[in-house]
Structure 1
């Protein structure tokens, strides 16, 4: 039996990551791309996504959070708007993957 749940909000938590470097970039080992990194317990990115009616005014309208949200919604053809509250955030430009983790959290949250 297939039951569909109506979820109005979702909380996504991601870890920071410490990028250690690339390996085997020339593909001699059979792998074209590869890198090594470590997941850190702190700091972390935590966002809450809530289904919204109509336009959403938020603190993120002009920044990368809003742009990532629009990119995912448009790509997936989702008309429902989403409000995103950033509860915790890896410091930007700190080398801990803050932009990647935020984009992934937004994408996963919208898909859920």
Structure 2
């Protein structure tokens, strides 16, 4: 049996907090600048659509998780891990190609 020593950790407390002094007052409201015209225009822009790579990657990951987890749960044995991985690979490939087809039809 070996004993492991954990590192010592210290909490740093500022002197003014230790002496129970009041916190500094918040900054005045006029210190912050409102949004400029350019910032408001930038924030109001429409988001760009996903690229083909992002679309197919999401589809592949979703298919892989759906098929792999479902198959692994259904086959509840040590063989379930192997079946889950194989089904996950198949689901990833299928989700990838399905997402690519949807992307091409949409764009």
TM-score scaled to structure 2, two decimals? 0.22
Structure with higher Rg: it is 2
Determine which structure has the larger helix proportion and give its number.
2
Kindly indicate which of the two structures has a greater share of residues assigned to strand: 1
Higher relative contact order (CA 8 A, sep 6+): 1
TM-score normalized with structure 1 length: 0.21
